Each structure stands twice: as structure tokens, then as C-alpha cells.
Copies of this chain bind each other. A is one copy, B any other.
Amino acid sequence: MQELIHLGKAAQCAAQKLATLGTDTKNAALLAMADALVSHTEFIMSENEKDLAAGRAAGMSVSLLDRLALSPERIAAMADGIRQIAALPDPIGEVLQETTRPNGLKIDKVRVPLGVIAIIYEARPNVTADAAALCLKAGNAVILRGGKEAIHSNAAIEKVMLEAAVAAGMPQGCMALVKDTTRDSANFLMRMNEYVDVIIPRGGAGLIRAVVENATVPAIETGTGNCHVYVDKDADLAMAAEIVMNAKTSRPSVCNAEEKLLVHKDVAAEFLPMILPRLADAGVEIRGGECVRAIYPTATPVTDDDWKTEYLDLIIAVRIVNDLETAIAHINEHGSKHSEAIVTGNSENSRKFLDEVDAAAVYVNASTRFTDGFEFGFGAEIGISTQKMHARGPMGLSELTTIKYVVYGTGQVR
């Protein structure tokens, strides 16, 4: 693990320099990195082809090959993403609070970078560009540990970006890709407390679990979404149907997609015949208990395991509930604290739902699909935190920072 210790030391050293780099230098470097990606399209594509060839030889599925594949358009889109990050306000240096104490001490609470951020991710090479740009803009050094399927693509992107960054005034070591893609390297990185300040896993439930289990570096858990839409008895049912269709079918593989539908008993007989055939027509498998199947007989019987499961697929489990309290209790018991919605015209009920449901984002009369850094107006997103510590929900630039108390004295002692 000498490679990792070497990268860690270099990153720590770079982080100290990045912390005091001006906004203009950081932005110029980001723009240079974006331009470099475009001007090296051919090189990146040829390295990507090595990964694709290896993937095809290993029998990788068509959808995974598609996620891995780069094209001039996709490279241009990565570059545009970096340009957008350059255009965002710099969070660093913001004074969040100023206090003058009775003894004359002036205490400023100032936003500073976290330091060294490690990102562990899976197949998609665009994460390399995206995550690095976000970390660097917030003044952090970044250690990237991507999956072995994308190693040539990731290494090409890193090489091109790092050269451009350094030429534009960023320190050597500001970004580094871990070339060792074994599980050992990931595990070692998770325990490099001396050099890494925060670790963020981006990927499937297995990766997240491995980080939570093994990391001694403070970690931000991201992305598991077992999201519910609850249709209240006072719902506008036409609106509810649009919300459910959107939340379930617009992009079923993402964490903010709906996985469960809860319907108040008083409107179930009217609403389920409206929505379930539409979902089925869109290819969604409906799962439900006896009460649901009494209304919609072709539903698959639901099991206890279903309620905790994030399908990430065209499947929905449906439950008829007696009242709002039961819906809230069901969500708080089975949900993953990601995004939860109520559809209702009753403001007392929506208030209760918004107050009592424990999740990063709670909605009234809107689709859960909006839980996203761009949709929330952050201009970028490094992931969606499903833990409560440090960051919750979509994480933008300011979630990649910490604070420092800067204290001005005139000789005060205690």
C-alpha cells in the first residue's frame, strides 16, 4: 500500500496549498481542465476502448458497457459540467458568524476546505471528472478510487485533468487516481485517517455497506433510496396519479425514484384502478397484499422483505393504510430516510407528514424525483447523503467544506 501512502502524503501537502488558493486561480484551472478534456478526446477515447474491449471479453452486460462507454459528446458533457462548477460561487472564506466576546476576543467562524477527500466509486468514468472538479473548487485535494472496469478511462481523464490543473497553478498532488483497483486498496484507503479527512462512497448498496463497516475515516453514506408516495384521502387524485407515474417510471434506476405506494383506505377503491393499470402499461410490476389484490387481482403478492427493498427497477409495492398515522409509521419504519412524499389538499395532514416523517427531503404534492443537487439549485452534486451527520440530502459545494474558528486577541488570558 506504498502507492496509497505516497498519494496520501502528496494530497495532504497539496491540500494545504489549495486551501489558500484564490478563487480566480481555481476557476482558471477548472476551465483549463475542461478544455484539456475536449482537446484530448482522441486519447481518452482510445484508452476507453481498452476498458470496453476488456468488458466485452469479460461478458459485461450491454447496459454496463453503455455506462462505461465514452463518446466525443460524453466527453464534451463532462467538460461542460466542469465549466458549470467553475461558474459557481466559491464557498471558501465565507464568514458564517462573527462574535465579539465581553473580554474583547473577536471570533470569526469561517468556511474552509475539508482537506483531503477520498471518493470510492464504481463503473462510470464521468465521476472522475465530476468529483474531482467539485472537490478542487471547494479547495480540497481528492483521491479517486474508481472501479477496475474503467481503470484506463479513469487514468486517462485524471492524467489530462491533472496536467492542465498544474499548468494553471494548482499544486501537484491535488488530484490522484489510485491505480490499484483491488479490494485491498479500497479497504486501506478507508482507514488512512492520517491523510484523509473524509471519505465518500458513490455506488451501489454493497459499496456503501463496505464503507460503513470498514471505514475509520469519517464517511458520508450516500444514495440508498427506498422512497414512498402516500396518497391521502384528501388528495387530488389526478395530481396523485401524475406524481406516482413520474416518481416511479421517469428513471426507475435512481435513488430518488419511488419504490412504494401507500394509499388511504377511503380513496383506494377509486385511486388504485386509476393508477395501477397505467403503471402496468408502463411495464411496472405491481406487488400488493390481499386488500390491494382485491381491487387489482393481477398484482403479485407482496412479502415482508419488499417493504425494506430498494428495487431500482420497474417494480412497485402498494399498501392500503387506515390513516395518515399508519402511513407515517410505515415510512419511518421501512424507509431509508431519503425522500418521502404526501399528496393531499389538507394542510393539517401535510404539516403532520412533513414534521413527523424522518427523511432528508419531505414533499407535499410533488414527485420525489426532485431530490437532486441541480433540481435544488445547488448547481452541482457530489451525491445524496442519507445519514444525518455533516450533510443530509443533495450535497453541493458547501457540503465539501468545514469551518475554522479564527480568534483575534489583544493578549487575553483565561
A residues sitting closer than 8 Å to B (CB atoms) are: 16, 19-20, 99, 101, 105, 107, 114-115, 193, 197-198, 212-213, 216, 218-221, 236, 239, 242-243, 245-247, 250, 332, 354-356, 358-367, 369-371, 375-377, 387-390, 392-393, 402-414
Q: Find out whether the CB atom of A388 lies under 8 angstroms from the CB atom of B356.
A: no
Q: Is B243 a contact partner of A411 (Cβ separation < 8 A)?
A: yes
Are B212's CB and A193's CB within 8 A? yes
Q: In the complex, what residue of chain B is closest to A110 when comparing beta carbons?
A: B354
B365 A414 Cβ-Cβ under 8 A: no
Nearest chain B CB to A64 CB, angstrom units: 25
In the complex the two chains form, is A105's CB within 8 Å of B366's CB?
yes
B361 and A407 contacting across the interface, CB-CB below 8 Å: yes
> Which residue of the partner chain B has the closest CB to A414?
B369
Taken together as a complex, chains A and B put the C-alpha atoms of A213 and B388 apart, in Å, by 20
CA gap between A347 and B150 in the complex, in Å: 50
In-complex Cβ contact of A114 among B242, B370, B388 (8 A)? B388
Docked complex Cα distance between A382 and B362 (Å): 29
* A375/B242 contact (C-beta < 8 A), A366-B409, A388-B197, A404-B359 known: no
Query: In the docked arrangement, what's the CA distance between A375 and B103, Å?
Result: 9
A371 and B412 alpha carbons, distance in the complex (Å)? 12
A359 to B107, CA, bound (A): 14
Interface of A, helix, strand, loop or mixed by DSSP: mixed
Given the complex, which residues of B lie within 8 Å of A359, measured CB to CB?
Answer: 404
Residues of B within 8 A of A16 (CB): 332, 356, 358
Contact of A405 among B362, B367, B405, B408 (CB under 8 A): B362
Contact A363 B407 (CB under 8 A): yes
CB-CB < 8 A to A107: which residues of B? 376-377
User: What distance in Å separates the Cβ of A36 from its nearest Cβ neighbour in chain B?
Assistant: 29
Chain B neighbourhood of A19, CB < 8 A: 355-356, 358
**A242 closest partner in B (C-beta):** B413
Pairwise interchain contact A408-B114, C-beta atoms closer than 8 A: no
Residues of B within 8 A of A370 (CB): 105, 407, 412, 414
A387: min CB distance to chain B, Å:
6
Q: Which residue of B lies closest to A366 (CB)?
A: B409
Chain B positions within 8 Å of A389 at CB level: 114, 197-198, 218, 220, 389-390, 402
Chain B CB count within 10 A is highest, among A193, A359, A366, for A366
A410 and chain B: residue at smallest CB distance: B365
* A362 neighbours in B (Cβ, 8 Å): 404-407
What chain B residues lie within 8 Å of A219 (beta carbons)? 218
Report the bound CA distance from A375 to B367 in whole Å. 46
CB-CB nearest 9 A-B residue pairs? A366-B409, A246-B413, A388-B402, A390-B390, A218-B389, A239-B411, A365-B409, A361-B405, A369-B414
